[in-house]
Amino acid sequence: MLRAFRFIAERTSYCFAFVPFVVLSGYFAASYAFFIFYFSVESLTPRTMGAFGVTLAGTLLLCTALHALGLGVLESAGIRAGLALPRRINQGFLHFQRNGSSSPSDLTALLRGLARFPQYHMGLAVGIALLVTVPSVAVEYVFSRSVRHLAAGIAGGLIAGVLYCYFCYVITEALSGELRSACRKEIARQGGSVPGVYGISLQRKIGFTVAVVFFSMLMLVYFLVFCRASLVLTSGFLITTFFTVAVLVSLYFRSVKAAFDEILRTARHVSQGRGELLHLGSNEKELVEFAEHFNDSVCETIALRENLEVQVDERTRELSLKAKELAEANDRLLELDRLKSRFLSSVSHELRTPLTSILGFSQIILRDLERAVLPVLPESGKVRAKADRIGTNVGVIRREGERLTRLINGVLDLARIESGRMEWRDTWVGLNSCIEQAVQVVEGAFDRDPDVRLAVRTESSLPQIFADPDRIVQVLVNLLNNALKFTRTGEVRVSSGKGDGREVELAVEDTGPGMPPEELDRVFERFHQVEGREGRPGGTGLGLAICREIVEHYGGCIWAESRIGQGCRFVFVLPADDSGGETFDGMPGSSKSKSESGSKSKDPSSPGSP
């Protein structure tokens, strides 16, 4: 049907292409009316039949001619009264179809015309129905002089008129859907806003269609039950009704299906991220409004997406700027770090050089004093006392110089650890050999203090750890010196053992005054001094801080345990290699006391003594 319509439209004019379909629907409507009329009257005289047939045929011919004349011939003859709408539609169609493109305003005008076109055809149908019905009914009344015939004729005419209007409307709307859709697409393509023009609402259309179908059924029942009806006539009515209903329903469902297909296709494209708008050929109010809302949301989504893209671009730009800034900042930091290292290196050199002189000359002075001056001085007397005092004072200078050296070393160590420039010469190492080395380092200091003895208790078969032995020795030496510093009399004991699971544990205990619980964490802070805790002079306040840095570098932890008056116990654990066994590293056995290696013990009951 659409193909036929297109064929005619392309060869004549757009509006003329409707004529055959409108006439066909007129034929159906008239047939319908005829059946109603015929069944309602008892008999028709042959003259009436003849007159009716002639009138019907004549009016049908007239309809066609009127349509033809009205929409095509009249126009070409220059008679334009009442033809403004079809003319406008024809011009718009020609312009759009043949010239390729039209401006959005022309297309909008065409769309508005198409929206009004079904009503225009309805008006035309009313006129034609009147033209057909009035003469037919009048002729029948003249011949029959029957009021019943008159009433039946009027009723049939009314029904035929209403049906004809409806058929015209549906057919026009269905056939013009394609052009309507194309117009909407083209307007949207050109960036114009699609006008919200529409015809009768879907609800009314569906209601009327259902009503027509029901009415046909009722009529059928009425004729079959109450009227005399020959088989031929009944079949004729049935066929007419069937064709009417089938054409209407098929047209109607085709347009609805086309609309839903288009909705589905567009929705699928939109969900795939293609910003496509919905352009329905439908003229129904609800569908047009739906398309408008749908397109509004699609436009909104597109705008949001574009906005999002702009935002993403902007954010990306900001991020790359930030990344650049960070890279520059990183370069500056690296440069600063390099300068810091150089500075530390210089400071180290510059501080060590004068310290070399201070310490070295102190020692030379002491040596000269002992070897050259003191031997020639009397054992007592003022000069001897002064000379002794010089010796004592130079000793102070030397010890303080040594302390300053330790302090510098400590600061440098901490700075190196923090800046990641510490050299960690990690290797598999046994803890007991570290203890042995540490003991060797502090032996001299313990030897000078006869009241404190050093006990060593190590466990054999300890797993090895992967660490820099010098750093582990450094931790142990710091802890041992610290313990010695705060122990007046008694014992400092260093011990090793297996910790929980894959750890090894080292502990340094003393019999010093201990410290309050709140100090246990703070002792690892730099330059922290425990209040009221008196020790020997010479501490730097950095030893325990360095210990913590080193132990934590190896993933271990260090802590202090103490109670006032009961000494301190510093423990650190390090993760160990649990696969291999230990290693004999020089200090086997369960316990080895420093007293074995010559220290003077004044506490034979110590658990560390043999």
Partner 1 sequence: MKIVIVDDERHVCSLLEQTLEELEEEEGVVILSAPDGEAGLALIEKERPSLVFLDIMMPGLNGYEVSRAVRQRPELRGTQVILLTAKGQETDREEGLASGAVEYVTKPFDPDRVLLLARKLLGLEK
The minimum distance between CB 426 and partner 1, in angstroms, equals: 12
Secondary structure letter of residue 521 according to DSSP: T
How far apart CA 57 and CA 445 sit, in angstroms, is 138
The distance of closest approach from Cβ of residue 309 to partner 1 in the complex, given in angstroms and rounded to an integer, is 54
Distance CA 585, CA 63 (A): 122
Question: Reduced to 3 states, what is the DSSP secondary structure of residue 489?
Answer: coil
CB 223 within 8 A of CB 234: yes
State in angstroms the smallest separation of the CB of 371 from partner 1: 9
- Residue 605 CA neighbour count, 13 Å, CB half: 1
Stretch binding partner 1 (CB under 8 A), from 112-120, 145-153, 319-327, 350-358: 350-358
Select the residue interacting with partner 1 from 105, 297, 307, 356 (CB under 8 A). Answer: 356
Q: Which of 178, 361, 535, 561 binds partner 1 (CB under 8 A)?
A: 361
Identify the residue among 355, 374, 390, 445 touching partner 1 (CB under 8 A): 355
C-alpha dihedral sign at 41, 46, 48, 54: positive
Tell me how far, at minimum, the Cβ of 537 lies from partner 1, in Å: 19
Q: 345 or 489: whose CB is closer to partner 1? A: 345
Instruction: Verify binding: residue 301, partner 1, rule CB under 8 A.
Output: no
C-alpha pair distances (Å), 361 with each of 130, 364, 369, 394:
139, 5, 12, 9
Determine the Cα–Cα distance for residues 544 and 413; give it in Å rounded to an integer. Answer: 12
Q: Which of 101, 316, 357, 489 lies at the binding interface for partner 1 (CB under 8 A)?
A: 357
Find the binding residues for partner 1 in span 251-280 (CB under 8 A).
none
Of 367, 386, 389, 600, the residue at the interface with partner 1 (CB under 8 A) is 367
Q: Kindly state whether residue 363 participates in binding partner 1, applying the rule CB under 8 A.
A: yes
Cα–Cα distances in angstroms (integers) from residue 288 to residues 202, 402, 558, in the given order:
10, 96, 78
Burial of residue 330 (number of CB atoms within 10 Å: 0-12, 13-18, 19+): exposed
Tokens 């990690």, residue? 426
Piece of 14-22, 77-85, 310-318, 352-360 that binds partner 1 (CB under 8 A): 352-360
End-to-end CA distance of the chain: 119
Name the residue nearer to partner 1 (CB basis): 123 or 360.
360
By CB under 8 A, the residues from 442 to 461 that bind partner 1 are: none
**Cβ closest to partner 1, residue 180 vs residue 471:** 471
Determine the residue type at 157.
G
- Residue 349 is a binding residue for partner 1 (CB under 8 A): yes
Per-residue DSSP letters for 31-86? HHHHHHHHHHSS---HHHHHHHHHHHHHHHHHHHHHHHIIIIIHHHTT--TT-HHH
Is residue 359 within the footprint of partner 1 (CB under 8 A)? yes
* In the complex, least distance from residue 607 CB atom to partner 1, rounded to whole angstroms: 36
Q: How many residues bind partner 1 (CB under 8 A)?
A: 22
Q: How far is the CB of 400 from partner 1 (least distance, A)?
A: 12
**Smallest separation (angstroms) from partner 1 to the CB of 364:** 5
What's the burial of 259, exposed, middle or buried (CB within 10 Å: 0-12/13-18/19+)? buried
State in angstroms the smallest separation of the CB of 349 from partner 1: 4
Q: Of the candidates 360, 537, 538, 586, which one interacts with partner 1 according to CB under 8 A?
A: 360
Looking at this protein, which amino acid is placed at residue 560?
A: A
| Window contacting partner 1 (CB under 8 A); options: 50-58, 363-371, 426-434, 486-494 | 363-371
Buried b vs exposed e over 295-310: b needs ≥16 C-beta within 10 Å?
A: beebeeeeeeeeeeee
Shortest approach of partner 1 to residue 432 CB, angstroms? 23
Looking at the Cβ atoms of 115 and 412, the one nearer to partner 1 is: 412
Segment near partner 1 (CB under 8 A), from 123-131, 295-303, 341-349, 475-483?
Answer: 341-349
CB 534 within 8 A of CB 397: no
**Binding-site member from 348, 591, 606, 609 for partner 1 (CB under 8 A):** 348
CB 399 within 8 A of CB 362: no
Residues 408-447 that bind partner 1 (CB under 8 A): 409, 412, 423, 425
Under the rule (CB under 8 A), what is the footprint of partner 1?
345, 348-349, 352-353, 355-361, 363-364, 367, 401, 405, 409, 412, 423, 425, 470
